[in-house]
Amino acid sequence: MSGQLKEVRNRIKSVTSTQQITKAMKMVSAAKLRRAQDAILQMRPYAQKLQEMLSNIVSSASGDMELPLADERAVERVLLIPITSDRGLCGAYNTNVIKATRQVIAEKYAAQQAKGNVTVMPIGKKGYEYFTRLGYKVIDNYWTIFSDLNFDNVRTAAVHAQKAFLNKEFDRVEIVYSQFKNAATQVFVSEPYLPIPKVEKTGDSNKNSDFIYEPSKETLLLELMPKILNTQVYKAVLDANASEHGARMTAMDKASENANELLRNLKISYNRARQAAITTELTEIVSGAAALQG
């Protein structure tokens, strides 16, 4: 009986230690989430407006104007940019990003994958490890971005994708990431990156956007296109960063709650075992006393 009590005590001690870790991780993630959330909420309207403006201009551009980054061609080679985290313990966050990436390949690029023409450029250690382990074609230069997250590092990855598209190494580039909604909600999406998507005009929106260009439209577009595209990747990375911390905070909160429930059950088991041990000892004492009297 004493052995059983010792085992339950050890389990209670182990669960208590684990709970202290999960509570600490939740607090750390909450602090990081606050900063990451502020960053994406400030960045998102700016990035969305830039993307909207760029898509409108590309859609209304005349046919005689060359826009290499908006060049639509037959899709033979594809580059996917999944954005995962460097660390785990964030629930199903990384699994969902990877699942979304594989779903995009299965639904849109199965033929290209069968020919070996799908390449993955992961951002984040978890995605890099997964796609490398499964034998995908992987560009392994940029998966460490989260170790030093800043615009310059993200811009380097974005420029690599743009140059590869311009050199016709890839005909389509898509970003797979998690859009941050709140700490408990992330939306996993795949967004077209290159060629620059055009706005589908319907009804009254068929009219061309009326912009005044200074200097010329060609000069502005050639200068602004790469900068806006860099901003789009940075926005996706900030979204993913906030989503990661939100997912980890939620996962650690759930883990702490589960530890509480487990501790409650273990303490009940411990008290029952201790009560049984006391009852057994009392029975033995009474039996011994009765034997002596007899």
Q: Are residues 71 and 13 in the same domain?
A: no
Is 121 within a domain? yes
The answer to the question of residue 212 being in a domain is: yes
Q: Is residue 164 part of a domain?
A: yes
Based on the fold, state whether residues 37 and 175 are members of the same structural domain. Answer: yes
Which residue intervals of 88-198 are DSSP H helices? 93-108, 110-114, 125-133, 151-166
**Has this prediction a pTM greater than 0.95?**
no
With a CB cutoff of 8 Å and minimum separation 6, the contacts of 21 are none
Residue 41 identity (one-letter amino acid) = L
CB atoms near residue 135 (< 10 Å) = 7
Range of the domain at 80: 27-250
**Alpha carbons within 13 A on the beta-carbon side of 229:** 26
- The pLDDT assigned to 206 comes to 47
Phi, psi of 181 (to 5 degrees): -110, -55
Task: Specify the pLDDT at position 232.
Answer: 94
Query: Would you name the residues annotated as active-site residues?
Result: 90
Ordered per-residue pLDDT tens for the chain, 294 residues: 567 788 888 999 999 999 999 999 999 999 999 999 999 999 999 998 888 888 877 777 656 567 888 888 999 999 999 999 999 999 999 999 999 999 999 999 999 999 999 999 999 999 999 999 999 999 999 999 999 999 999 999 999 999 999 999 999 999 999 999 988 889 999 999 999 887 665 555 444 556 677 777 777 777 888 899 999 999 999 999 999 999 999 999 999 999 999 999 999 988 888 887 788 778 878 887 777 776
Q: Are residues 147 and 48 in the same domain?
A: yes
**What's the CATH number where 155 sits?**
3.40.1380.10
- 171 and 259 assigned to the same domain: no
Question: Token pair for residue 107?
Answer: 């639904």
Domain of 274, CATH number, reads: 1.10.287.80
DSSP E strand boundaries for 208-267: none
Please count the structural domains in the chain.
Answer: 2
Tokens representing residue 80 in the block: 């996917």
Whether 294 is covered by a domain: the verdict is no
